[in-house]
Structure 1
Amino acid sequence: MALRLARARRWAMLAILGLVVLALFGFGFIWLTPYWIDLVRPAPMPPAVDERHFGDRVLYISPHPDDESLGGGGLIQRLVAQGKQVFVVFMTVGDGYRRAAEEAFHVFPARPADLRRLGALRHGEALAALGRLGVPAENVVFFGFPDGGLSPMWEAHWSDDDPVRGPNGATRVPYPFAYQSDRPYSGSAVVAELEAVLKQFQPTDVIYPDPFDQHPDHLATSAFVVYTLAKLQQDVREWTYLVHRGDYPVPWTYEPKWFLLPPGPLVAVGVHWLAFPLRGEEEAGKYAAISQHVSQVRTIGPFLRAFVRRNDLFGRIDTPVLRSVAGFDPMGAARSGAAAGAPREHTWSFIGSGGSGNRAEPAPLAPYTVVLDAVGDTLQREWEGSADLRAVASVRSGGRWYIGIQTRRRIDSAVSYELHLRLFQKVGVRRVDLAVRGGVPTVLPGSAPSDAIPPGVMIRGDVLWLSFPDAWLADTGSWMVEVQTRVAGHQVDSSPWRIIRLSPK
């Protein structure tokens, strides 16, 4: 009898557990389905662009071998056929992909020496792919920087004395075929080589990764290119291309009769998407070029072939101009105050400079927006609304320079809001990196001296404003800005690095 009761209890518990699992699955399915549907819904077909919109000297910058074929394989063929010069730069040789090395050389686990062998292999694959696209080897440059190391080089390892150690075990470029062998794995080395190539080739157009790409190497490549162009003040047409996003391309299968369409979340974020229609032979040529990347096709072939469609896709990004207005003073408004007794969730809280915490209505954010970001475009950002960036704004007024950060939900004291600035001045580039948490600003490592801390921070609902001396912009022609959010030390979101000019061209 006791045994039967024990069995009955066990079956009852299993049944209850099964019902709970089914309920959780059903709830999760119902909750997540609208999110996934919205995420993978592509935008409508963008306007068309053709080879006449490109100049005679086009520089294509690729983070890894294969990005040249995925992002612009059709365009490159057309430009070459029209007699235009195409020059291709590879930031890395893709020597950080361990699985590809293990598959290629039948080793496990792949050691640093195997990854360097992979780098040499992918160098040959890239030349073969570009040969299919019509680009001669003398128009191809390999920097040889570390695959998977561009982001830390951009963010922290700027000095030649503090290089990154790549997955290949090296801290300097180890390849004899590189543009400059033995170059340190540092951010300043990347900028120096980009400067040299831009001065040597004098391009009319530069094509580089879109700042909304989600691969760290692509994001860093985009930032390095934007930084270098601003530093040189070189007047070129800029184009971007997209490779790595969870919602692009849709689907990750070979669909040659379909179109490459921008992801839905990237429709209204300041990128003007343009379709470059391909002819049948160009689509076939793109497929053939991708197929030359044998080490990659072996491991991620369906994803690579998903880019063989009826068009290439490019973006153009407007460069905003910093507005100067009279009477914009959120700090002063907070000090002077407004009607007392307003609900706390609808008030400004002023922190720093001896502020009183009095209440005032905020200045509107929208007229001063300089950067837009996609919202809810990952599951974590959908969940962490206070860390999901919506926009960055900036304005000059009354001897102050203001930068505003807007999130999808209320600013939260548990979230760290990081502001990264690069000011292009008459002599050099000034770096400012700050974090604000709980309304308290702190200087991050690598930033300018402690005077970078703004005298005040103001928070109201979903907007955080920082104030800087307007004198900082006295010798500045343009500046770059990025915002990151972190929860418990982990990055949740980042806005694209964007150039803002102080005056129109």
Structure 2
Amino acid sequence: MALRLARARRWAMLAILGLVVLALFGFGFIWLTPYWIDLVRPAPMPPAVDERDFGDRVLYISPHPDDESLGGGGLIQRLVAQGKQVFVVFMTVGDGYRRAAEEAFHVFPARPADLRRLGALRHGEALAALGRLGVPAENVVFFGFPDGGLSPMWEAHWSDDDPVRGPNGATRVPYPFAYQSDRPYSGSAAVAELEAVLKQFQPTDVIYPDPFDQHPDHLATSAFVVYTLAKLQQDVREWTYLVHRGDYPVPWTYEPKWFLLPPGPLVAVGVHWLAFPLRGEEEAGKYAAISQHVSQVRTIGPFLRAFVRRNDLFGRIDTPVLRSVAGFDPMGAARSGAAAGAPREHTWSFIGSGGSGNRAEPAPLAPYTVVLDAVGDTLQREWEGSADLRAVASVRSGGRWYIGIQTRRRIDSAVSYELHLRLFQKVGVRRVDLAVRGGVPTVLPGSAPSDAIPPGVMIRGDVLWLSFPDAWLADTGSWMVEVQTRVAGHQVDSSPWRIIRLSPK
């Protein structure tokens, strides 16, 4: 009898637990359904672009072998057929994908030597794919930088004396077929090679990863290209392409009669999306090129084939110009009454927000916006609204240079707001990296000296303003900006790296 009661209780507890799990699942499904619907809802069909919009010498920059076929396989065929020169640069040879190495060589786990074998294999696959697209091997360059290591190279390992160690076990380019074998895995080396290629090819157009791509290697490639073009002041048409986002393409299946459409969250963030319609034979050629990447088709085939649609998709990004106005002083209230040399903080609330504080109105953010970011485009950002970036603004006034950061919810002292600047000056590039938490700015490693700390920080509702000496811009022609947010040391969001000019071209 006691045994039966124990069993009955056990089954009752399991039943209750099951009901709780079902209830939580149902609640989560109901709560998340609007989020997912909004996330995967693509934009309307963008305007069309054709081969006449491209010049005679087009440089396509690809983070890994296969990105050339996924992002521009149809366009490349058309350009070649029209007699235009197409050059392709691979930043890496895709030698960090352990699962692909394990599948290709039947080893587990994949060792660094296996990953280097994978790099050589993917080098051959890339040449075969581009051969299908009509690009000769002499127009293809492989830098051989580390797959999975481009972001550390861009952010932290800039010096040749402090290279990244790649998943392949190397700190220098190990491939004899590379553009420059034995080159250190460093940010400065990547810029030097991009400079050399741009000077050698003299392209009319450069196509590179969109800054809203979510793959770290793609983001870093985009930043390296934007940086190098600004440094060289080379006058080219710039185009972007998208590969890695959770909401692109929709769905991740082979749908050749469908269109590639931009993700809904990226409709109003400053990217002008353009569709390049493909002919039937170009669509078939794109499929054939993707199929040459056998090591990748074996592991992520459905995702790769999802890019075979009735068009290629490209973006054009406007370059904003820094505005100068009179009477803009959002820091005034923050400076008043603060001790000389001490960090200043002043918390304001938006009128109508329900908070208390100084009711003085600083100039609105919108007229000075230079970067827009998608909001609520991941679950973590949806949850951490104070770390979900909405916009970056900038303006010059009264001998000061102001940069504003806006988030979806109020600025929070638990969030670290990082500002990363690259100032292209007459002699060299000045690097400034700051973090603001609780209204207190600090200089991050790798930045300019301590004079980079701004003399004032103002926080008002969902906007944080920083102020710098206007003299910093005296010898500056343009500058790059990125903002990151971190909670407990973990990155939540980042704005796209964007160039801002001080005067129109």
Please state which band the TM-score falls in when normalised by the shorter chain: over 0.9
For the residue of structure 1 that corresponds to 2:238, the secondary structure is strand
CA distance in structure 2 between the aligned counterparts of 1:226 and 1:331, rounded to whole angstroms? 31
For the residue of structure 1 that corresponds to 2:350, the secondary structure is strand
Alpha carbons 1:339, 1:359 under 8 Å: kept: no
Task: Quickly say closer, same or farther: Cα 1:350–1:244, change in 2 above 3 A.
Answer: closer
Alpha carbons 1:369, 1:392 under 8 Å: kept: yes
Per-residue deviation, 1:346 = 12
Note the alpha carbon deviations across 1:476-500, whole angstroms, 9 max, x for none: 0000000000011000000000000
Per-residue deviation, 1:348 = 1.9
Task: Quickly say closer, same or farther: Cα 1:441–1:350, change in 2 above 3 A.
Answer: farther
CA distance in structure 2 between the aligned counterparts of 1:409 and 1:354, rounded to whole angstroms? 13
Q: TM-score, normalised by structure 1?
A: 0.96
* Structure 2: tracts of 5 or more residues without a match: none
For the residue of structure 2 that corresponds to 1:79, the secondary structure is helix
Task: Quickly say closer, same or farther: Cα 1:173–1:353, change in 2 above 3 A.
Answer: farther
Moved more, 314-323 or 357-366: 357-366
* Structure 1: tracts of 5 or more residues without a match: none
CA distance in structure 1 between the aligned counterparts of 2:356 and 2:12, rounded to whole angstroms? 62
Alpha carbons 2:408, 2:462 under 8 Å: kept: yes
Alpha carbons 1:146, 1:167 under 8 Å: kept: yes
For the residue of structure 1 that corresponds to 2:195, the secondary structure is helix
CA distance in structure 2 between the aligned counterparts of 1:248 and 1:337, rounded to whole angstroms? 51
CA distance in structure 1 between the aligned counterparts of 2:194 and 2:344, rounded to whole angstroms? 50
Note the alpha carbon deviations across 1:354-401, whole angstroms, 9 max, x for none: 999965323210000000000000111011111000000000001100
Task: Quickly say closer, same or farther: Cα 1:279–1:489, change in 2 above 3 A.
Answer: same
Per-residue deviation, 1:351 = 20
Question: How many aligned positions are there?
Answer: 505
Alpha carbons 1:340, 1:358 under 8 Å: kept: no
Alpha carbons 1:331, 1:350 under 8 Å: kept: no
Alpha carbons 1:125, 1:293 under 8 Å: kept: yes
Task: Quickly say closer, same or farther: Cα 1:329–1:351, change in 2 above 3 A.
Answer: farther
Identity %: 100
Task: Quickly say closer, same or farther: Cα 1:34–1:341, change in 2 above 3 A.
Answer: farther
Task: Quickly say closer, same or farther: Cα 1:432–1:344, change in 2 above 3 A.
Answer: closer
For the residue of structure 2 that corresponds to 1:101, the secondary structure is helix
Note the alpha carbon deviations across 1:246-292, whole angstroms, 9 max, x for none: 00000000000000000000000000000000000000000000011
Alignment of 1:464-475 (within 5 A): 464-475=464-475
Per-residue deviation, 1:335 = 4.8
Task: Quickly say closer, same or farther: Cα 1:340–1:347, change in 2 above 3 A.
Answer: farther
For the residue of structure 2 that corresponds to 1:482, the secondary structure is strand
Note the alpha carbon deviations across 1:226-245, whole angstroms, 9 max, x for none: 00000000000000000000
Alpha carbons 1:335, 1:355 under 8 Å: kept: no
Task: Quickly say closer, same or farther: Cα 1:342–1:43, change in 2 above 3 A.
Answer: farther
For the residue of structure 2 that corresponds to 1:243, the secondary structure is coil
For the residue of structure 2 that corresponds to 1:72, the secondary structure is helix
Alignment of 1:242-257 (within 5 A): 242-257=242-257
Give the match for residue 2 of structure 2: 2
Task: Quickly say closer, same or farther: Cα 1:199–1:289, change in 2 above 3 A.
Answer: same
Note the alpha carbon deviations across 1:334-360, whole angstroms, 9 max, x for none: 456999999999952899999999653
For the residue of structure 1 that corresponds to 2:345, the secondary structure is helix
Task: Quickly say closer, same or farther: Cα 1:419–1:151, change in 2 above 3 A.
Answer: same
Per-residue deviation, 1:115 = 0.6
Note the alpha carbon deviations across 1:453-494, whole angstroms, 9 max, x for none: 011111011110000000100000000000000011000000
Give the match for residue 326 of structure 1: 326
CA distance in structure 1 between the aligned counterparts of 2:419 and 2:345, rounded to whole angstroms? 24
Alpha carbons 2:373, 2:389 under 8 Å: kept: yes
Alignment of 1:382-397 (within 5 A): 382-397=382-397
CA distance in structure 2 between the aligned counterparts of 1:461 and 1:313, rounded to whole angstroms? 37
Task: Quickly say closer, same or farther: Cα 1:116–1:339, change in 2 above 3 A.
Answer: closer
CA distance in structure 1 between the aligned counterparts of 2:361 and 2:344, rounded to whole angstroms? 12
Moved more, 264-273 or 339-348: 339-348
Note the alpha carbon deviations across 1:427-451, whole angstroms, 9 max, x for none: 0000000000111100000000000
Task: Quickly say closer, same or farther: Cα 1:85–1:31, change in 2 above 3 A.
Answer: same
Task: Quickly say closer, same or farther: Cα 1:196–1:400, change in 2 above 3 A.
Answer: same
Alpha carbons 2:372, 2:392 under 8 Å: kept: yes
Task: Quickly say closer, same or farther: Cα 1:451–1:114, change in 2 above 3 A.
Answer: same
Task: Quickly say closer, same or farther: Cα 1:337–1:40, change in 2 above 3 A.
Answer: farther
For the residue of structure 2 that corresponds to 1:350, the secondary structure is coil
Task: Quickly say closer, same or farther: Cα 1:20–1:271, change in 2 above 3 A.
Answer: same
CA distance in structure 2 between the aligned counterparts of 1:83 and 1:214, rounded to whole angstroms? 34
Note the alpha carbon deviations across 1:312-332, whole angstroms, 9 max, x for none: 000000000000000100111
Per-residue deviation, 1:15 = 2.4
CA distance in structure 1 between the aligned counterparts of 2:449 and 2:357, rounded to whole angstroms? 28
Alpha carbons 2:410, 2:463 under 8 Å: kept: yes
Per-residue deviation, 1:22 = 1.3
Per-residue deviation, 1:2 = 3.9
Moved more, 208-217 or 327-336: 327-336
Alpha carbons 2:394, 2:401 under 8 Å: kept: yes
Task: Quickly say closer, same or farther: Cα 1:13–1:341, change in 2 above 3 A.
Answer: farther
Alpha carbons 2:335, 2:456 under 8 Å: kept: no
RMSD: 4.0
Alpha carbons 2:394, 2:404 under 8 Å: kept: yes
CA distance in structure 1 between the aligned counterparts of 2:351 and 2:280, rounded to whole angstroms? 62
Note the alpha carbon deviations across 1:188-243, whole angstroms, 9 max, x for none: 00000000000011000000000000000000000000000000000000000000
Per-residue deviation, 1:19 = 1.8
Task: Quickly say closer, same or farther: Cα 1:280–1:453, change in 2 above 3 A.
Answer: same
For the residue of structure 1 that corresponds to 2:95, the secondary structure is coil
Task: Quickly say closer, same or farther: Cα 1:238–1:482, change in 2 above 3 A.
Answer: same
Give the match for residue 493 of structure 2: 493
Alpha carbons 1:390, 1:408 under 8 Å: kept: yes
Alpha carbons 2:90, 2:142 under 8 Å: kept: yes
Alpha carbons 1:351, 1:440 under 8 Å: kept: no
CA distance in structure 2 between the aligned counterparts of 1:191 and 1:351, rounded to whole angstroms? 46
Task: Quickly say closer, same or farther: Cα 1:353–1:247, change in 2 above 3 A.
Answer: closer
Task: Quickly say closer, same or farther: Cα 1:217–1:3, change in 2 above 3 A.
Answer: same
Alignment of 1:29-428 (within 5 A): 29-335=29-335, 348=348, 360-428=360-428
Alpha carbons 1:347, 1:361 under 8 Å: kept: no
Task: Quickly say closer, same or farther: Cα 1:336–1:363, change in 2 above 3 A.
Answer: farther
Per-residue deviation, 1:10 = 2.6
Task: Quickly say closer, same or farther: Cα 1:283–1:356, change in 2 above 3 A.
Answer: closer
CA distance in structure 1 between the aligned counterparts of 2:429 and 2:343, rounded to whole angstroms? 43
Alpha carbons 2:240, 2:314 under 8 Å: kept: yes
Alpha carbons 1:88, 1:139 under 8 Å: kept: yes
Alpha carbons 1:457, 1:466 under 8 Å: kept: yes
Task: Quickly say closer, same or farther: Cα 1:340–1:164, change in 2 above 3 A.
Answer: closer
CA distance in structure 2 between the aligned counterparts of 1:23 and 1:352, rounded to whole angstroms? 37
For the residue of structure 2 that corresponds to 1:330, the secondary structure is coil
CA distance in structure 1 between the aligned counterparts of 2:352 and 2:419, rounded to whole angstroms? 17
Task: Quickly say closer, same or farther: Cα 1:119–1:368, change in 2 above 3 A.
Answer: same
